Structure 1
Amino acid sequence: MISQLLVALSLFVCQCHGGCAEVDSMTEAVAGEGFLLGCISCKRREEVSASATVDWHFKRLGEDEFSHIFHYDHPSADILHKDFSNRLEWQGTQNRDIQIGGIFISNVAFNDTGTYRCTFHRTLFLPLYDEQVIVEKEVELTVVAVANRELTAVISEIMMYVLIVVLQLWLIVVLVYCYKKISEEHEAREARKALKAQALLLQSKDNCDGVQLD
């Protein structure tokens, strides 16, 4: 789940700030949940205007042929396979210059396991001619009953608990140090008061001894 959120955030950043980074899609979905199939194809020259369409094909595990399941030609999104009816949603660029071609699958099923192929058909509008570019990317998707925790997530969680323990120990050390410091200052202050009182007492006694009686 964390990985999917990271991919979604990467796509969002690319859209909002005009930059483009080709982030690989996640490859493990949980049955009954939603899943974002990522597909990014960046233009090599951002200053060149372009238009593109995106097609998704799917080959179920154990099958030999790909089936055309989705087509996007801004602003139209068409689901082309009955097995994905009402389950696919465009999550890519919202204009004709498409660089992000992700789709979201809702209510993932075990028979969604297989190979997904994303194809960009891009036209670059150059000064002298229009250039046609085709980019294909594949995602091998596995559907599981329960999400596997990634090693990095486990390590991060362990480090978080270690950090909490270290901070607590450090706080205890600081509290003990502060208590000792305050205690020492209090004792020193009381000692100075005692010395001052003793000095006043001796001074008073000397004054009394110096008084001559008539």
Structure 2
Amino acid sequence: MTGKTHISVGLASSLLVTQPDTIKEMVLCTGIAFIGSVISDVDVDTSESHRDLVRVISIIAIAACMIAFADYRWGVGIVDALRRHSGAVRLATGIGAFLGICIFGMFQPHRSFMHSLPGMALLCGSLWYLYPAVVPYFAVSMASHIIIDMLNHKKVRILYPLKWGIGLDFCLADGLVNNLLFTAGSITAAVFIFIQVVRMF
């Protein structure tokens, strides 16, 4: 599936499953879901995929900046909560572990480690060590990425390092189903955010 579809479905899934109902939770859910929904695609194996890698890294950077801006602008307390939970050493080691897992995943075949349950477990573990509150948002959005990729013909090695994988060959990665999922995810996320914002204010 395309990147925009992964983002829309990942965000909608994370919002619906975790049901954030405060500004702080909404900001965290939105930002972390953006990251979780694209992180699997850091595994690149062609020159075209290297352009995708730049896009993924850009989305992650934008999401991190979005969280920081929202925390500064509305004072929702994300940075303070992170500071209280994680000292400098824990912060450094947690971020280091997360980045190390991603770097390892970058050099694995596409749809293998970074699309697997072990890969997701390791990433979630590093985030739990860093800041447990973000794990549900990340896990749901990353899981949504893996699940909808299974709809294509290329197998997803969900139990990496086993060679076995799941590829349902139900649709093309950029065809009608992809477009329908993008539309459904976008509408669902927009409606949920609108309803929650109205309730909060």
TM-score by length of 2: 0.28
- Kindly name which structure, 1 or 2, has the bigger radius of gyration based on alpha carbons: 1
Larger proportion of helix = 2
Higher relative contact order (CA 8 A, sep 6+): 2
TM-score by length of 1: 0.27
